[in-house]
């Protein structure tokens, strides 16, 4: 068996199998459990890199579950309705790399952060990763729904994992209710499309799309569900609670779960509906982006809980991605020359957002771990005893605020450039919001790390520092060499997003 032929299945299967083995191994040895989970996730990361490289070099991969060989043609659904088809293009590969990388760093961080009931924690952690990967790799709408549910249930349990405050269970309850509403929207829209076309495969639906009233209703439902799960304002009400109450590592890993929902939103708009998409959708995405930026920044200014403050900053960063993607989608439908620039900025910022806000969440988790406090009014002077954490927070601060030479500056300047070509006012609003974001993060740094020492503490353990340093290194590298990152990672994703015909042909041309 050639392992390269089965990379899509293995990337999902390894963490799934490990998730069920973890509670058993935990009964024998905690160290053995940690070692098995780390090895499994490290192996998944290596396989994900191989998969990404293969897709970028050789084009779209189609993997049919249950086929006797990887070259077997895709059967019609009427003949074999239970087959699952994985379809991996540049966009899917880009998202898989983000999900596995951040999960691996979150896992390393959690080895010191999570002290109780570790077997259950890592089972849920791995299942959340499986859900994300399934959403990003599947080519089937119903399986997208199934993996969305797996992600949501595991994430809800992890948000409530520490269960030390009443607000924690409230945040988890709010998250699972919102997720259930979104999932029902997705399921209803799938029923509408299946009833009309007798198809579930996304490429097949895209090829058969006729832009009927049923199609438009399904689009509204899918759009609403994935925008809700992506944390777009004004449907962001769950995000600050979920991010703010989850353990430090989970707060970071929740970011790629929202990114996976954003991926699904873009897949629906660019691939399934493509040029038949209603012209109002780009305008709605742009409006959601602006609302997210405004609400995120203004609400962050008045927070005194360090993690809730960063959570609202995360809402604003979602806004920048949506703004760029909305402008890109508008250009895509109208054949504008700035389309590639806008999509490039949005996809680059999606990766940067995960790194920048993720680092800030890890620092915040480290502060809570070391001091037991999360209120800015009760913290101060931590730079005296947490020198490394303080420096790492400065890196995340500069990156999230879009200061050169960090990665956030590189992606935001591309967004400003493309948005300016549509409306200079939109670009000015985005720039002003970045300046306000800088003020927000300076507020945190001044309150937590400078001034008189209010709390006795020591530096966080080495595994937690290692994860933060790895993120900081990626942030600096992406900022210093943005052209390299764009050429080798971002552009393949952007090209896949725009070239929906190749995605459809790769699937439907294999045989139906």
Evaluate the omega torsion of the peptide bond into residue 405 and state whether it is cis, within 30 degrees of 0. Answer: yes
CA-wise closest residue to 239 among 187, 153, 324, 313:
313
How would you write 51-83 as a 3-class SS string? HHHHHHHHCCEEEECCCCCCCCCCCCCCCCCCC
pLDDT at 84: 78
pLDDT along the chain (512 residues), means of 10: 83 96 90 94 97 93 71 45 79 97 96 79 95 95 96 95 79 94 96 93 91 94 95 91 91 95 95 88 94 94 91 95 95 89 96 96 93 87 90 94 92 95 91 90 87 77 95 97 96 94 82 41
pLDDT at 381: 87
**245 and 172 Cβ atoms separated by less than 8 Å:** yes
pLDDT at 79: 40
pLDDT at 292: 96
Q: What 3-state class would DSSP assign to 305?
A: strand
pLDDT at 454: 66
Residue 103 — left, alpha, or beta (φ > 0 → left; ψ -120 to 50 → alpha)?
alpha
pLDDT at 380: 85
pLDDT at 78: 39
Separation CA 479–CA 481 (nearest Å): 6
pLDDT at 117: 66
Q: What 3-state class would DSSP assign to 401?
A: coil
Query: What's this model's pTM, rounded to 2 decimal places?
Result: 0.94
Q: What 3-state class would DSSP assign to 512?
A: coil
pLDDT at 385: 87
Strand partners, 88: 61
pLDDT at 66: 65
Evaluate the omega torsion of the peptide bond into residue 234 and state whether it is cis, within 30 degrees of 0. Answer: yes
pLDDT at 169: 87
How would you write 324-362 as a 3-class SS string? HHHHHHHHHHHCCCCHHHHHHHHHHHHHHHHHHHHHHHH
Q: What is the dihedral of CA 457, 462, 467, 472, to 10 degrees?
A: 70
For residue 64, which phi and psi values (nearest 5 degrees)?
Answer: -100, 115
Alpha-carbon distance values, 186 to 43, 53, 146, 174, 192 (Å): 32, 31, 10, 19, 10
């Amino acid at each position: 068996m050639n392992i390269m032929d089965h990379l899509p299945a293995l990337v999902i299967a390894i963490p799934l199998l490990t998730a069920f083995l973890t509670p058993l191994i935990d009964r024998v040895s905690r160290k053995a459990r940690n070692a098995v989970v780390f090895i499994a996730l490290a192996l998944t990361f290596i396989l994900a890199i191989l998969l990404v490289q293969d897709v970028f070099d050789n084009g779209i991969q189609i993997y049919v579950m249950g086929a006797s060989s990887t070259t077997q043609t895709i059967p019609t659904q009427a003949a074999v309705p239970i087959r699952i088809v994985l379809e991996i293009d540049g966009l899917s590969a880009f998202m898989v790399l983000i999900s596995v990388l951040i999960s691996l760093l979150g896992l390393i961080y959690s080895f010191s952060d999570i002290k109780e009931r570790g077997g259950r924690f890592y089972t849920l952690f791995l299942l959340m990763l499986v859900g994300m990967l399934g959403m990003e790799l599947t080519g089937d709408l119903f399986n997208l729904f199934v993996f969305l549910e797996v992600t949501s249930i595991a994430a809800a349990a992890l948000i409530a994992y520490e269960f030390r405050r009443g607000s924690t269970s409230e945040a988890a309850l709010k998250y699972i209710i919102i997720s259930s509403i979104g999932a029902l929207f997705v399921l209803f829209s799938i029923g509408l499309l299946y009833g009309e076309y007798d198809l579930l495969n996304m490429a097949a639906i895209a090829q058969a799309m006729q832009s009927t009233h049923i199609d438009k209703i399904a689009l509204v439902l899918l759009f609403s569900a994935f925008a809700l799960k992506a944390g777009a304002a004004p449907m962001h009400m769950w995000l600050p609670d979920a991010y703010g109450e989850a353990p430090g590592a989970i707060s970071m890993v929740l970011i790629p779960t929202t990114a996976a929902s954003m991926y699904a939103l873009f897949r629906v708009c660019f691939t399934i509906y493509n040029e038949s998409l209603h012209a109002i959708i780009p305008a709605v995405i742009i409006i959601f982006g602006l609302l997210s930026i405004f609400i995120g920044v203004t609400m962050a200014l008045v927070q005194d809980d360090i993690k809730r403050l960063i959570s609202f900053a995360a809402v604003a960063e979602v806004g920048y991605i949506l703004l760029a993607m909305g402008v890109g989608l508008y250009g895509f439908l109208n054949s504008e020359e700035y389309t590639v620039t806008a999509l490039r900025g949005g996809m680059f910022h999606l990766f940067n957002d995960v790194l920048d806000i993720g680092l800030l969440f890890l620092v915040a988790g480290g502060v809570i771990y070391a001091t037991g406090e999360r209120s800015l009014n009760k913290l101060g002077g931590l730079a005296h005893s947490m020198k490394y954490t303080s420096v790492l927070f400065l890196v995340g601060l500069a990156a999230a605020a879009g200061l050169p030479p960090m990665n956030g500056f590189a992606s935001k300047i591309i967004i400003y450039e493309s948005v300016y070509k549509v409306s200079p006012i939109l670009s000015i609003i985005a720039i002003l919001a970045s300046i306000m974001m800088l003020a927000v993060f300076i507020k945190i740094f001044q309150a937590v790390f400078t001034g008189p020492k209010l709390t006795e503490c020591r530096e966080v353990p080495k595994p937690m520092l290692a994860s933060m340093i790895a993120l900081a290194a990626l942030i600096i590298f992406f900022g210093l060499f943005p052209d390299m990152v764009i050429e080798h990672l971002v552009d393949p994703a952007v090209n896949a997003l725009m070239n929906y015909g190749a995605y459809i042909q790769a699937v439907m041309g294999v045989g139906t």
